[in-house]
Amino acid sequence: MNTNLPEHSNSNQPTNQQNTTDEVDLIVLFNYIGKGFSNFFKFIGSLFVYLFKGIIYFLKPIVQYAKIIGVIMIIFAVLGYFLDKKKPIIYTSNMLVKPYYDSKFQLINNVNYYNSLLENKNYKGLANLFKIDTLIAKSIIGFEVNAGPETESDLVLEYEEFLQSTDSATANSFSYQKYLEGRDIYSSKIYEIKVNAVKNNIFQDLEVGLNRTFENTYSQTLMNKKNKLYEIEKGNINSSLVKIDSLQKVYISVLKAESQSQSRKGMTIGDGLSFEKDKSVTKEFELFNREVELKAQLVRLEKDNLEEDVLFDVVSRFQTVGNKVSVIHEKYILILPILAFIILYVLFLATKIIKFIKNYEG
């Protein structure tokens, strides 16, 4: 019995050593995890310390020289106030237009040309273009052309029209968001023309000149082609309606003749053309339906022609009196004090850096 006990003890020894090793490994692992969390929180803490020090270093010159900075900012604010008083009041007005036949390209090019004339102070040339007095031309500050107002529904309908006009492969690769990203100023259907001036009652005098910005050979050619196509289609429809009217009269005469004879036998007219009562009624009904279709087509054609019978439509005209432009970020009473603060802060900071460099001994 005693000889078996040592053997039993030796058999459990590897198991105990394995358990001890696993426990040591877990302790080491937890130590590593603990040190990792500790280092992470120390890093976060050091960030806050450096951030706090940075804020203090940033605020120190401001607090140290607060009186000087405050006095100079007040002086510059007063100076800005008087400069704002001397600045001319700017007025603005806008009109909305809907171009046809690609006249939008000429519109945008002409607006850029008008601005170049103003930049070069060619007021006489601008006055000749708009048929206005030179003094009115000198009062104009600038022209702008922007895409007009568009609702989400307008954009969705425009996207659907785009999908219908392209092949299926292209349509599948163009998402709605991608389509919106690819749009530019030339993609709009309505445009806003904005004019800034120092006089508030000159804007309606500019409408005649702006209306001429849409006139160009290319757009006029497109409109002429469209008008010719309209005349051809209208002539074809009217010709078909005349033929239908003649055939209807023939069928009606046949029905009257058959009604008088009270006969169901066939009746021959002209070159062996025969009618039967039931067939005559059916044919007359088909002609009537065809006549209705052609008249509806003619109405749609007339509607399209009336909608685009000019190079552009004015959606909204210039106001009689322009609106005063008031832009906060262009006020000297704000710009000058802020600029003075930045310059002073940079000077004080540069002074501290120079002193630090001079006193630095390694």
pLDDT tens per residue across span 245-290: 777 777 777 767 766 665 444 444 444 444 444 555 566 677 777 8
* Tens-digit pLDDT profile for residues 89-148: 889 999 998 888 888 888 888 899 999 999 999 999 999 888 888 998 999 999 999 888
- 161 lies in some domain: yes
Q: How confident is the model at residue 14 (pLDDT cuts 50, 70, 90)?
A: low
CA distance 266 to 275: 6
Residue 2: pLDDT band with limits 50, 70, 90: very low
Say whether both 178 and 322 belong to one domain. yes
Contacts of 191 (CB under 8 A, 6+ apart): 96, 97, 98, 99, 104, 107, 145, 146, 147, 148
**Residue 201: inside a domain, yes or no?**
yes
Strand partners, 193: 95, 145
In the prediction, which pLDDT does 271 show?
44
Task: Look at residue 299 and tell me whether its pLDDT is greater than 60.
Answer: yes
- Is 37 within the bounds of a domain? no
- Specify whether 349 is located in the same domain as 321: no
| 40 Cβ contact list (under 8 Å, min separation 6) | none
Grouping H, G, I as helix, E, B as strand and the rest as coil, residue 90 is: coil
Token pair of 11, please?
Answer: 């058999």
Determine the Cα–Cα distance for residues 305 and 293; give it in Å rounded to an integer: 18
Pick the range with the lowest mean pLDDT from 16-30, 41-55, 62-76, 282-296. 16-30
Instruction: Quote the radius of gyration of the chain (alpha carbons, Å).
Output: 43
The answer to whether position 5 is within a domain reads no
pLDDT band at 319 (very low <50, low <70, confident <90, very high): confident
| Residues 176 and 133 placed together within one structural domain of the fold | yes
Is residue 194 located within the same domain as residue 267?
A: no
- Please check the confidence at residue 1 and state whether its pLDDT lies above 50: no
One domain, residues 186 and 245 = no
Task: For the chain, report the end-to-end CA distance as a whole number of angstroms.
Answer: 82
Q: Which residue has the higher pLDDT, 69 or 277?
A: 69
Tell me, yes or no, whether 136 and 244 share the same domain. no
Tally of structural domains, the chain = 3
Asked if 92 and 322 touch (Cβ cutoff 8 Å), the reply is: yes
Instruction: Kindly state whether residues 111 and 215 are assigned to the same domain.
Output: yes
**C-alpha 84, offset from chain centre:** 34
Confidence grade of residue 300 (pLDDT, cut at 50, 70, 90): confident
Q: Phi first, then psi: what are they for 142, rounded to 5°?
A: 180, 165
Q: In angstroms, how far apart are the furthest CA atoms of the chain? A: 141
Please give the residue range of the domain that contains residue 109.
90-219+316-327
Three-class SS of 259-275: HHHCCCCCEEECCCEEE
Q: Are residues 309 and 321 in the same domain?
A: no
Say what the pLDDT of residue 143 is. 92
Is residue 137 a contact partner of residue 185, using CB atoms and an 8 Å limit? no
Task: State whether 76 and 205 are in the same domain.
Answer: no
Tokens 């088909």 correspond to: 286
Residues 170-185 have pLDDT tens digits of 777 777 788 787 788 8
Contact between 336 and 76 under an 8 Å Cβ cutoff? The reply is: yes
The residue-averaged pLDDT of 181-197 equals 86
pLDDT given at position 239: 82
Residue 272: what pLDDT?
44
Instruction: Output the six-digit token pair for 57.
Output: 């270093």
| Inside any domain, residue 224 | no
Residues 183 and 321 grouped into a single domain? yes
Whether 238 maps to a domain, the answer reads: yes
Cα 103 to its chain centre, rounded Å, is 19
253 in the same domain as 145: no
- Helical residues (DSSP H) of the chain, grouped into ranges: 4-64, 66-86, 104-119, 123-130, 134-138, 152-165, 168-173, 176-181, 207-211, 217-261, 277-307, 332-359
Cα separation, 94 vs 207, whole angstroms: 10
199 vs 269, higher pLDDT: 199
Tell me: do 244 and 135 sit in the same domain. no
What is the structure's pLDDT at 116?
A: 93
